[in-house]
Amino acid sequence: MGSYCSPDVWAWIQSLPPITQWKTNSMSICIFSSKLTQASLDLTINKANQNYHTSISFSIVADLHIPIPLWTSKSFKPSIQASKLLDNGTSCSLFCNLVKNILNYGPTKNISFLYIPSLDTISNFKEIFNLSFFTLTLLICIYEVPKDLRLECLETIKNHLVGSYSRDTTKTLMRLLGSNIEEQWMRSLNLAITNFIAEMDEQNHILRTPLPFSYAISTVGLWKVQLYCPIIAMKLDTSSHLPANERLQFSLRHQQLEGVIQFSYKVVVQEKWVNVIANVDNIRCDVIRLVSETLMRKQGAGSAEKHFPSRISLELTPTLQTNVLSVSVSKSSENPTLEIGLEKTVEGSFETPNILGLRAAMSETMTMSLKPWKFEQSIYGYSANLNWYLHDSVNGREVFSSKPSKIALLKPKAWFKNRYSSAYRPFTKQGGVVFAGDEYGDSVIWKIDKGALGKTMEWEIKGSIWLTYWPNKHRSFYTETRALEFREIVHLSLI
C-alpha cells in the first residue's frame, strides 16, 4: 500500500516564499508514493514570465521514468508585496478553479453560478481546500493516471476521502457551495466512480464499492438528510436469470439516486411530560442520469430505461432512551376498496326476413381501486418505522419483492410501460417520487420525561431505499431490484 508524502497541501502552499525569492522555476510536493513501483504523483507549481509579467500555474504530474503532466490549472498572478506566495484573492481563485475542474468531469457543462465568500469568514478553509484538491486528484486518477500507478493510488486516496473526518468536511463544503453546485459535484464524482466500477467489472476485479454519501442537518424545527449513490454501487437485491444486453446495461448503470428526507418537528411542554412531535415534511427520491441524453441514445437504450423507487423504509429512534416514556404513531393509509358493478347488454338482429334472431348477453365486471403507494407506520421499542410500498395496480402485488410475468412484460399497455408519460403514472415525469406532508403528514409522538428539559437529545434516522427496473420502452425480459442503506444522527434541544 502506498502512502501520502504530505496530505496537507494547503499548508505547503501557504509556507512557500514569495515568487521573488524563488531560486528555481518550480516547486513540488509528493501527493502519493508507490511502494510497488517507486513512482509518485506530485503537485508542482510552475513559474512563467510572459510580457514582463510573472505568473504561476499548478500541475499534477505522474513522476514515472518520464514525468507526465495529468492536469494543469489556469494561470494565477502571485503576490509580490506579501510575505507569502498567494494572497486571499488568488487563493480563492485557485479554490474556484479546483471546483470548476471537478464539475467539468460531470454531465453538465453549464456550471451554475459559483460564489465563495471571503476566506476570512471560512473557519476551516484548509480542510475544505485539501478535500477539494484530493477529490480532483481522485477523478484524475480514474481518468488520467497510467495503470502502473493507478489502482494503488486510487485505493489510498479513496480511503482518505471516505474517512469520517473527510466526510464531515464534505458536509461543510456542500453547505458552502450551495445545493445547485452540490448536485453537479456529486454527479461528477459518481460518474467517475460508475465508470471505474464498470471497467473493473469487465476485468473481473472484485471491488469494495463506496458507501452512499449522505449528510444530515439539524436546525430549529427541521431534520434533513441528503443522500447520493450511483446505481452501480447499490446492492443487487434480486434480478432475472436473463442478463441485460450491453445497451440496456449502459443505461441502467449510468444513473444516480438522489434523495432528500425531511421531517418537521416541534416540542410541546405538557403538565406531566414533554411531547416531541415529528411529521413527514418531504420525502423525495429521484433517479438522475449521469451522462448526456445524446450519449444515452447512442450507446444505451435511452434515458427512459432506468430504475424507479419501489420501496422506502425509514426508522426514527431516540438514541438515549432513559427519559423516553412512550411513542405513538398514526394510522396507516387506507386499504384498497373493491368496486363491483353489473353490466347487462341486449343485442337484437334479424337473421333472415322470416326468422327473428335475438341475441342477449350479460356480463359482470369487478374492478379494484388501489393507490399505487401504500404508507404504513409501526413501532419497534421506541423506534418509529415508516414504510412506503409501491404496488402493481393490476394485481396489487408489492413491486420491490416481485416481478411481472413475461407475458405482462410484452403487453404495451401494462402500467409499468411508458411509466414516465402516462397520466396514471405513480412517479413524477422525471421518474422520481415525492411524498409531502399534506398526504403523509400524520405525526409520530414521543412522550419525554420533564427531567430532560434543557438537554439536547440525539435521534437516529436510519433508512433503506429500493430501486426496481422493469422494461419501459425497451423490449427485454430483464428485471432487477437494488437497495441501499443509510444512517445519520440529528439533534433536538428540549427547551
Grid cell digits, residue 217: 442537518
> Please, what's the b/e burial string for 291-320 (b: 16 or more CB within 10 A of its CB; e: otherwise)?
beeeebeeebbbbbbbbbbbbbbbbbbbee
Expressed as residue numbers, the domain containing 481 is: 211-335+367-494
> Which pLDDT does position 173 carry in this prediction?
94
**pLDDT at 66 exceeding the cut of 80:** yes
> Which pLDDT does position 362 carry in this prediction?
54
**pLDDT at 336 exceeding the cut of 80:** no
> Are 249 and 272 in the same domain?
yes
Name the residue type at position 44: T
Last residue of a domain, one of 176, 191, 208: 208
pLDDT tens by residue, 347-386:
444 444 444 454 555 555 555 556 788 899 999 999 999 9
pTM above 0.95, yes or no: no
Reference 46, options 81, 85, 84; nearest CA is 85
**H/E element holding 130?**
helix 125-143
Treating both helix axes as pointing N-terminal to C-terminal, what angle do 88-103 and 179-202 enclose, rounded to 10 degrees? 50
**pLDDT at 346 exceeding the cut of 50:** no
> Are 16 and 162 in the same domain?
yes
> Are 415 and 426 in the same domain?
yes
> Are 185 and 302 in the same domain?
no
The CA-to-CA distance between both ends of the chain, in Å, stands at 51
- Does residue 353 fall inside a structural domain? no
pLDDT tens by residue, 457-466:
999 999 999 9
Collapsed DSSP state (helix, strand, coil) of residue 157: helix
- Does residue 352 fall inside a structural domain? no
**pLDDT at 1 exceeding the cut of 60:** no
**H/E element holding 487?**
strand 480-493
> If you average pLDDT over residues 174-182, what whole number do you get?
92
**Average pLDDT of the chain, as a whole number:** 86
Class of residue 77 by CB neighbours under 10 A (exposed 0-12, middle 13-18, buried 19+) = middle
> Are 193 and 272 in the same domain?
no
Grid cell digits, residue 24: 528555481
Reference 322, options 207, 451, 432, 205; nearest CA is 451
> Which pLDDT does position 232 carry in this prediction?
94
pLDDT tens by residue, 401-442:
888 888 888 888 887 888 888 777 888 888 899 998 877 767
> Are 204 and 217 in the same domain?
no
Collapsed DSSP state (helix, strand, coil) of residue 443: coil
Grid cell digits, residue 81: 508585496
> Are 204 and 296 in the same domain?
no
Name the residue type at position 115: Y
Grid cell digits, residue 222: 427541521
Last residue of a domain, one of 208, 229, 263: 208
Name the residue type at position 35: K
For 298-367, the DSSP string reads: HHSS-TT---EEEEEEEEEEES--TTEEEEE--PPPPPPEEEEEEEEEEEEEESSSS-EEEEEEEEEEEE
> Are 236 and 152 in the same domain?
no
Q: Are the CB atoms for 222 and 281 separated by under 8 Å? A: yes
Report which of residues 159 and 28 the model is more confident about.
28
Grid cell digits, residue 86: 498567494
> If you average pLDDT over residues 284-292, what whole number do you get?
95
> Which pLDDT does position 341 carry in this prediction?
46
pLDDT tens by residue, 299-314:
999 999 999 999 999 9
> Are 162 and 254 in the same domain?
no
Going by C-beta distance under 8 Å and a sequence separation of 6 or more, which residues neighbour residue 223?
A: 216, 217, 261, 262, 263, 265, 278, 459, 461, 490, 492
Q: Are the CB atoms for 265 and 461 separated by under 8 Å? A: no
When mean pLDDT is compared across 50-54, 178-182, 207-211, 378-382, the lowest value belongs to: 207-211
- Does residue 346 fall inside a structural domain? no
CATH for 287: 2.70.240
Q: Are the CB atoms for 144 and 154 separated by under 8 Å? A: no
- Does residue 345 fall inside a structural domain? no
- Does residue 455 fall inside a structural domain? yes
> Which pLDDT does position 206 carry in this prediction?
65
Q: CB-hemisphere CA count at 13 Å for 40? A: 13
- Does residue 355 fall inside a structural domain? no
Which residue is listed with cell 384498497? 336
Q: Are the CB atoms for 279 and 450 separated by under 8 Å? A: no
> Are 204 and 271 in the same domain?
no
pLDDT tens by residue, 221-263:
999 999 999 999 999 999 988 889 999 999 999 999 999 999 9
- Does residue 340 fall inside a structural domain? no
Q: How many residues does the chain have?
A: 495
Q: Are the CB atoms for 433 and 373 separated by under 8 Å? A: yes
Collapsed DSSP state (helix, strand, coil) of residue 58: strand
Spatial separation of the C-alpha atoms in residues 422 and 33, rounded to whole Å: 55
Spatial separation of the C-alpha atoms in residues 262 and 212, rounded to whole Å: 18
pLDDT > 90 in the chain, percent: 57
> Are 33 and 130 in the same domain?
yes
How many domains does the chain contain in total? Answer: 2
Report which of residues 213 and 353 the model is more confident about.
213
> Are 44 and 61 in the same domain?
yes
Last residue of a domain, one of 189, 208, 227: 208
- Does residue 302 fall inside a structural domain? yes
For 85-125, the DSSP string reads: S--HHHHHHHHHHHHHHHHTTSS--SPPP-----GGG-TTH
Q: Which residues pair with 223 in a beta bridge?
A: 218, 263
For 173-230, the DSSP string reads: HHHHH-HHHHHHHHHHHHHHHHHHHHHHHHTT----PPPPEEEEEEETTEEEEEEEEE
**pLDDT at 327 exceeding the cut of 60:** yes
Which residue is listed with cell 432512551? 321
Report which of residues 289 and 206 the model is more confident about.
289
